[in-house]
Structure 1
Amino acid sequence: MVSNPPIIFLDEPTSGLDSVSVKHCIEILKVLTGQERTVICTIHQPSSYVFKSFNQVYFIQDGMCVYNGSSSNLIPFMSSLGYDCPVTYSPADFIIETVQTVQESVSPLVDSIQNGKLNRRDSKVLHSSDYPLLRKSSDIYKETTQMLETKTDIDFPTSFWTQFSILFSRMILQIKRNKKAIWIQLFHHTLCGVLFGLLFSGIGNNASFTVSNFKYCVCVLVFFVYTYIMSPVILFPSEVRLLKREYFNRWYGLKPYFLAVSLRSLPLMLVLGMAFIIITYLLTDQPMELDRFVWFSFASILVGVASEGLGTTIGSICSITNGSMVAPAVAAPLVFFCIYGMGYGQYIGRVMNIIIYTSYMRVGIVALTQSVFGNRHPLECTDEIYCYYQDPKRLLRDVGMADASYTLHVLGLIGYVIFFRLIAYLALRFRLTSELSRIIVNYISKIFHYR
């Protein structure tokens, strides 16, 4: 219903439902028909209530139409041919039982209704020329072909934001219903937060553990990377298979769907991510400055969003099996570029300095480190006579981040978020556009065949 279709085809919508649910389902369908929509259903054993609810019924036996018309006119039609329906019988059950048990009844019914060409509707016989839905299929095919030739891009009746709001609401509802997954993620974030806090307990203002504090930033980065990169790699390929069917049926557009997919995990990520950050930030005794905490939290969440975007890109291109191998293979060099030059950062060459920034993790670790050590007063040196990294500027120099700007690196993370999402969108667009993908595959096959 997202795209507000004028005609709805339903295959056995009441099957498997109890009588109360069947009544509710039919009432909803009647409401839809009252909004200038046409609802067409196939039902094998309709109850009396279901049967009377339909304005138009069409019975088929052995591939031939035995009745076409209003539900109220079925009993008079059968009586006119000598088949009287008992008072206690449902009209639908009666005609089904008659055509299946009395073989000689099929031909009179088919002949009287002219195999569906006549429509016994509203107590009068309508010919196909009087009823638009009974026109010849060849005429409808010609009109449809002409329409597609004049306008190949058929617009959706509903707007982009209407489709987005409905799809996003559905996805949020699905997340809420999966309470087990929410509890698992909450346990994971809380446990990791406590473990990280205990491993790096009380090092935030201690100059003797400045390097360990930098390692804490690296661990936070790795946590957000691997927590959010694998979920879409494993889960999104299954959604792509469902998307192919729904998009092929033109239930909604790809753009509102992809925007909803991109934003659906953000609320839960903010809640769980902030829980992890608060626990570790307090246990590690980081500087109690609101601006630093906000900068640190913002950079961490952006790393998680970028990681999820990379996972979505891989999930859009690969199957679950291939994606499970591709994701670690892609992440490994990105981690290497992230930690390259630690200890000799001032000697990194220009070319290598450009290469390492092809990793969004490098951009993320610089933002996290700058939020903790940037523009900071000398740390406390209590455990040793002399602390080399008492001045945080020395650490930033040795890890190659002395002149780095927090703002520019946050903008870089936002750029990577947009880049990964764009690649994922284009990959989905390619997979859903069978004609384009088929042409590209044929050209590639010709090239290799020629060689």
Structure 2
Amino acid sequence: MEQEMPMVDIEAQANKKTEIEAPAIFKKANRPVTLKFEDVVYMIKINKGGLLKKSKNSEEKMILKGITGMVQPGEVLAMLGPSGSGKTTLLTALGGRLGGRLAGTITYNGKPFSNAMKRNTGFVTQDDVLYPHLTVTETLVFTALLRLPNSLSKEEKVQHAEAVITQLGLTKCINSIIGGERLRGISGGERKRVSIGQEMLINPSLLFLDEPTSGLDSTTAQRIVSTLWELSNGGRTVVMTIHQPSSRLFYMFHKVLLLSEGNPLYFGRGSEAVDYFSSIGYSPMVVMNPADFLLDLANGVSSDDSHEDQNKIKQTLVSAYKINLADKLKVELQELRSSQYQDGLDDKQFGKWSTAWWQQFSVLFTRGVKERKHQSFSGLKIGQVLVVAVLSGLLWWQSDDAHLQDKIGLLFFESGFWGFFPLFQAIFTFPHERRMLEKERSSGMYRLSSYFMSTVVADLPMELILPTVFVVITYWMAGLKSSFVNFVQTLVVLLLSVLVSQGLGLAIGATIMDQKSATILGSVIMLTFLLAGGFYVQHVPSFIAWIKYISISNYTYKLLIGSQYKPSETYPCNSKGGFCLVGEFPAIKQVGLSGQAIAVVALVIMLVGYRLMAYVALMRIGVTKKVE
């Protein structure tokens, strides 16, 4: 039968391959870890009220129902079960990434999860969260620079990245970009190996993987699991969830945990699973993949034609586990004496961060520029700005002071256009980066402050260069004051407005974290600011006039007018003298040429305040708590 395939040949082949390919620095784990988990229970609250009907009473649902097991160095534990069985929840809990109502005991070499353990644990999520425009080498080198300690030089960190590339068989695609949904890049199997490589850089003692073979063909899946088997052979502890492995993969697992609706149905050697279920009256009627047989049982489907009720089968299997395996497993855990553990991980040996703040900022800034330059300076965005600039210059071509209303109309248009444009660019920043931020922050790669500052600074080239080009084109075509001082004042005011609008976009995006909702909210806010900007409505009712005091457009419009005109200047009019004071022009008088310093201070306060709001909003983003 297929399920009786011997493991000897597989082990021999894997050992042979490891001796040839694995670099010396990755042959053995630094500090082997024994993972024990006893009676792990996890509960969540479910609100029974809908969108229109809120209920004060919430129902608690038990996701994990007393899971017990143990994985030792050199072993691969595979957690099997249908969707909704609790595999990912248990994996997240074992990886120290699950909060909430988690009960039971999880120990690592007899100790609870600690900062030292976090620094020696790798966690590969089901979805490969990678930057699409970076190459394989860039992805792993940036990760090495962030995660490896300062006891290693930059050159040594790069060598570690190159060693991982060699070990995982990625040498053929080192200069290929990762790619994404609309960007052709490396294959799915290579992308998965890059994700594993990011965790292997720290030479982890404990490696968790969530569905590492999901979406891959059988050959690629075999290659991934073979790599993981080799890693465990070096004294690492490997724990993974897997949905429906082939028989070849199944026999590479040292231990198997079968779950059904949060209940354990089997824990033990994979090669003994079929024999166990046969001993309690459930055996396959035909030669089949053992994993398929186990998943059928977890779904309450028996191989015979008895048409037994599915719930009854599940209850029978749960009871059989408690009778035949549960007590025996707990005895095995108790027999594992503390003296059997390898040297423990001491928190005192590890600082909270691997690298200094400035190093984190530098690496994240460089990575951010490389990744976002394709979006920031895309032909579409540059073309959009150039077309609007030239069109504006033609519409206001050499406008003179005799048409003062037209000139101030151009200034208000500039304040509006450069309010919306950077706002919508910034709104997408953090929602787009959320998954990456959650992944890297949960691994302790960097401080939130270094990430935030690097992201803000990396966006400055696009935020400042494009409006500068816009002003250079429009200013001279529209015939605004030819004095260099007036030009610089106009440019500085517009750039300050751009930075404030960017800050508002960052704050909205970080608070909402949903691109569609954030866009709608940003549109409403900016339109409100435009309406209260002093151009469309000059006689605003007092009960709503307060909006202008928080309007970016209002302060920008005031400063742009001030950059062109002084109260004592005149313009051609129909009065007896033929000239009138600019300050008395109705549209300008409403906004006022005084209070320029106050407007600058207001924009600077907004510049800092909006970014502080964005930073505070990002602080609430922690580790992803996914329940399967």
Q: TM-score, normalised by structure 1?
A: 0.63
Distance apart, 1:176 and its partner CA: 3.1
What does residue 24 of structure 2 align with? none
Distance apart, 1:183 and its partner CA: 1.6
Distance apart, 1:39 and its partner CA: 6.1
1:425 correspondence with 2:615: yes
What does residue 534 of structure 2 align with? 339
What does residue 320 of structure 1 align with? 515
What does residue 197 of structure 1 align with? 393
Describe the shift of the 1:402–1:162 C-alpha distance in structure 2 as closer, same or farther (beyond 3 A). Answer: same
Give 1:423's aligned amino acid. Answer: M
Q: How does 1:263-342 map to 2 (within 5 A)?
A: 263-318=457-512, 319-339=514-534
What does residue 564 of structure 2 align with? 372
Give 1:372's aligned amino acid. Answer: Q
User: Whole-Å Cα distance in 1 between the matches of residues 586 and 361 of structure 2?
Assistant: 44
User: Whole-Å Cα distance in 2 between the matches of residues 424 and 377 of structure 1?
Assistant: 42
2:365–2:455: 8 Å Cα contact kept in structure 1? yes
Describe the shift of the 1:359–1:261 C-alpha distance in structure 2 as closer, same or farther (beyond 3 A). Answer: same
Distance apart, 1:416 and its partner CA: 0.7
Describe the shift of the 1:388–1:226 C-alpha distance in structure 2 as closer, same or farther (beyond 3 A). Answer: farther
Residue of structure 2 aligned with 1:410, choices 597, 600, 615: 600
2:583–2:589: 8 Å Cα contact kept in structure 1? no
1:396–1:402: 8 Å Cα contact kept in structure 2? no
What does residue 17 of structure 1 align with? 170
User: Whole-Å Cα distance in 2 between the matches of residues 387 and 161 of structure 1?
Assistant: 64
User: What secondary structure does 1:213 align onto?
Assistant: helix
What does residue 438 of structure 1 align with? none
What runs of 5+ residues in structure 2 fail to find an aligned partner?
A: 1-143, 176-189, 191-199, 208-223, 239-250, 256-335
1:214–1:369: 8 Å Cα contact kept in structure 2? yes
What does residue 103 of structure 1 align with? none
What does residue 341 of structure 2 align with? 136
Residue of structure 2 aligned with 1:256, choices 450, 459, 464: 450
What does residue 236 of structure 1 align with? 430
Q: How does 1:49-88 map to 2 (within 5 A)?
A: 56=234, 62-64=252-254
User: What secondary structure does 1:232 align onto?
Assistant: helix
1:229–1:308: 8 Å Cα contact kept in structure 2? yes
Give 1:136's aligned amino acid. Answer: Y
User: Whole-Å Cα distance in 1 between the matches of residues 478 and 535 of structure 2?
Assistant: 25
Describe the shift of the 1:302–1:59 C-alpha distance in structure 2 as closer, same or farther (beyond 3 A). Answer: closer
Describe the shift of the 1:389–1:218 C-alpha distance in structure 2 as closer, same or farther (beyond 3 A). Answer: farther
Describe the shift of the 1:20–1:400 C-alpha distance in structure 2 as closer, same or farther (beyond 3 A). Answer: closer
What does residue 219 of structure 2 align with? none
Q: Deviations over 1:372-427 (max 9, x none)?
A: 1135633467xx78797743221378543435233332232121111111101101
Describe the shift of the 1:167–1:388 C-alpha distance in structure 2 as closer, same or farther (beyond 3 A). Answer: farther
What does residue 585 of structure 2 align with? 395
What does residue 182 of structure 1 align with? 378
What runs of 5+ residues in structure 1 fail to find an aligned partner?
A: 26-32, 66-127, 436-451
User: Whole-Å Cα distance in 1 between the matches of residues 236 and 620 of structure 2?
Assistant: 41
Aligned Cα RMSD in Å? 4.6
User: Whole-Å Cα distance in 2 between the matches of residues 225 and 387 of structure 1?
Assistant: 39
User: Whole-Å Cα distance in 1 between the matches of residues 373 and 534 of structure 2?
Assistant: 38
Q: Which has the higher helix share?
A: 1
User: Whole-Å Cα distance in 2 between the matches of residues 21 and 279 of structure 1?
Assistant: 42
Q: Which has the higher strand share?
A: 2
User: Whole-Å Cα distance in 1 between the matches of residues 599 and 464 of structure 2?
Assistant: 20
Q: Deviations over 1:209-244 (max 9, x none)?
A: 111111111100111011111123234312122211
Q: How many residues align structurally?
A: 343
Distance apart, 1:172 and its partner CA: 0.8
Describe the shift of the 1:337–1:177 C-alpha distance in structure 2 as closer, same or farther (beyond 3 A). Answer: closer
Describe the shift of the 1:19–1:363 C-alpha distance in structure 2 as closer, same or farther (beyond 3 A). Answer: closer
1:164–1:257: 8 Å Cα contact kept in structure 2? yes
User: Whole-Å Cα distance in 1 between the matches of residues 477 and 545 of structure 2?
Assistant: 34
Residue of structure 2 aligned with 1:356, choices 548, 562, 573: 548
Residue of structure 1 aligned with 2:370, choices 173, 180, 186: 173
